[in-house]
Chain A
Amino acid sequence: MSKVLMKGNEAIAEAAIRAGCRYFFGYPITPQNEIPAYMAKRMPETGGCFIQAESEVSAINMVYGAAGAGARVMTSSSSPGISLKQEGISYMAAAELPCVIVNMVRGGPGLGGIQPAQSDYFQATKGGGHGDYHLVVLAPSTIQEAADLVIEGFDIADQYRNPVMILGDGILGQMMEPVEFRFSNRRELPPKTWATTGHTGERPRNIINSLIIDPQALEDHVNRIYQKYGHIMKNEVKVECCNCDNADIIVAAYGTTSRIVKSVIYLARQEGIDVGLIRPITLWPFPANEFSRWADRQHVKAFLTVEMSTGQMVEDVRLGVNGKKPVFFYGRTGGMVPEPSAILEEIKKVMRSVMK
């Protein structure tokens, strides 16, 4: 299979189809419109179904229906649209329905802007809807990784019966890079015996439900889901460490921002500062242990979290570092992208303050 040059949005859509996704329900919003546009063209060619719903609320409930029937299904949107989907996402987590949800984040709050941002980190990782639940949140930094994670994301969703979110941003969606659709690490997945596929009198009927009136029964249900989350936290953490072995400072960044930081590592080296990068690939489960491990190392003087937000992931970095080293923050927001020179300045500032 040779490489093709594709936009991030289109590569994500194609990866979903290759992963067996045959249902897509969505509603347009910049900067992810290429996903529904691509699906509208490709789904009929594969015998699948594309529907542009009348709203995001409607789209996510169509996802609920298709997932309940055992199908591989996806929806995509950008920040304000993802807010509208939150009720449905909470219902899906409660009813243990697998699906993949793509959020190509744009500047917020409110209707905000259309330029790239990472200001939906809290919403994605801390349960954007109501109730006790988590999404598995995957944050690709390249288009190749986005395609890989979409394919694996469907497997993760099916394995744990839980919604999976791909958290990107406008840059990842709009840019083009070479991509190859590959199926490494396919998982053995349990059959979907719980799906409402029509029992034809041969088995007890399956019920997909998120209303559990009896508080004891609901607590038991939530606790069982949390046991599942325990397995996810143990088995599904993904993280990339780059240049950390002798680093004076470790920068924490994910997605597009982590790529900018990789450029900064090179700039900093020219100024005699050794900068490492810890890049969480799963934002939930968060690679807290990785931060704890590096915080124990003597050569690491401090951590600097860089985000396209006013500081969201930095809270999880602080929990991981757990007071062992100082944690600083630098961010741009509203659709502004941090420049390498500005990040380098922050690194120098941090160096000066910890060397005092």
Chain B
Amino acid sequence: MTHQIIIAGFGGQGIMSMGQLLAYAGMLEDKNVSWLPSYGPEMRGGTANCNVIISDDMVASPIITKATAVIAMNKPSLDKFENAVSRGGLLLINSSLIDRKASRDDIEVCYIPANEIAEKLGNSRVANMVMLGSYIAKSNAVSPGSVINSLTKVLGSSKAHFIPINQKALSMGAEYVK
């Protein structure tokens, strides 16, 4: 089984961290993983995306052209990557920031008001974790436990006090798509 995930949004939404958490969690489960960021003259507020592959086999190309899932955190990302979802794949749309519906009918689409859910938790910055929770619940790419174990590695010890809210955001996201 190979999961090929494109995560996209604007700089500052935690796009890269979402991808790193997924990749780290996959590694903790002894899977082959890769994480590839878009890099360029981009900054906070600009566009950001990353490609994450989690596979039982060796990861050949780290570049994803046909994604098993796309997580679109804002509208330009949906416009850019909707067609990258392979037939029967999964499209997760952050409906807090995206007012349009998906135009594909050959894929599974989930609308998640990630920012609203995050604000209910008291910090809109965990919207990315809400989406990640939804993705994991839908795809079973990695277990929620592995993601939580990865949090300490990716966030670093100085941000350890953010772990509980991230954990909550992950489970709220999972709840929402159940």
Q: Which residues of A contact B (CB under 8 A)?
A: 3, 5, 30-31, 114-115, 170-171, 174-178, 256, 259-260, 262-263, 266, 337, 339-341
Q: Is there an interface contact between B61 and A176, defined as CB atoms closer than 8 Å? A: no
Q: Is there an interface contact between A341 and B65, defined as CB atoms closer than 8 Å? A: yes
B24 interface residue (CB < 8 Å to A): yes
Q: Is there an interface contact between B39 and A176, defined as CB atoms closer than 8 Å? A: no
The CB with the most chain B CB atoms within 10 A, among A30, A115, A176, is that of: A176
Instruction: Name the A residues within 8 Å of B61 (CB-CB).
Output: 259-260, 262-263, 340
Partner of B33, one of A178, A337, A340: A178
With A5-B20, A260-B61, A337-B63 as known contacts, state yes or no: A175 contacts B40, CB within 8 Å: no
* CB neighbors of A among B114-152 (8 A): none
With A177-B59, A259-B60, A262-B60 as known contacts, state yes or no: A171 contacts B20, CB within 8 Å: no
Q: Is there an interface contact between A170 and B27, defined as CB atoms closer than 8 Å? A: no
Partner of B60, one of A5, A114, A266, A341: A266
Q: Is there an interface contact between A170 and B35, defined as CB atoms closer than 8 Å? A: no
Q: A114-B39, A177-B59, A259-B59 are in contact. List 8 more A-B contacts (CB 8 A).
A: A5-B23, A5-B33, A176-B34, A176-B36, A178-B32, A260-B60, A263-B60, A340-B65
Q: Which residues of B contact A (CB under 8 A)?
A: 20, 23-24, 27, 32-37, 39-41, 58-63, 65, 153
Bound complex: CA A174 to CA B51 (Å) = 12
In the assembled complex, the CB of B68 is this many whole angstroms from the nearest CB of chain A, namely 14
In the assembled complex, the CB of B32 is this many whole angstroms from the nearest CB of chain A, namely 8
Q: Is there an interface contact between A114 and B40, defined as CB atoms closer than 8 Å? A: yes
Q: Is there an interface contact between A177 and B33, defined as CB atoms closer than 8 Å? A: yes
Chain A residue at minimum C-beta to C-beta distance from B153: A5
14 residue pairs of the A-B complex, CB under 8 angstroms, read: A3-B27, A114-B40, A115-B40, A175-B62, A176-B23, A176-B35, A177-B33, A178-B27, A178-B32, A262-B60, A263-B61, A266-B60, A337-B63, A340-B65
With A174-B36, A175-B35, A176-B35 as known contacts, state yes or no: A260 contacts B20, CB within 8 Å: no
Bound complex: CA A220 to CA B108 (Å) = 71
Instruction: Name the A residues within 8 Å of B27 (CB-CB).
Output: 3, 5, 178
Instruction: Name the B residues within 8 Å of A176 (CB-CB).
Output: 20, 23, 34-36
With A5-B27, A31-B39, A341-B65 as known contacts, state yes or no: A177 contacts B60, CB within 8 Å: no
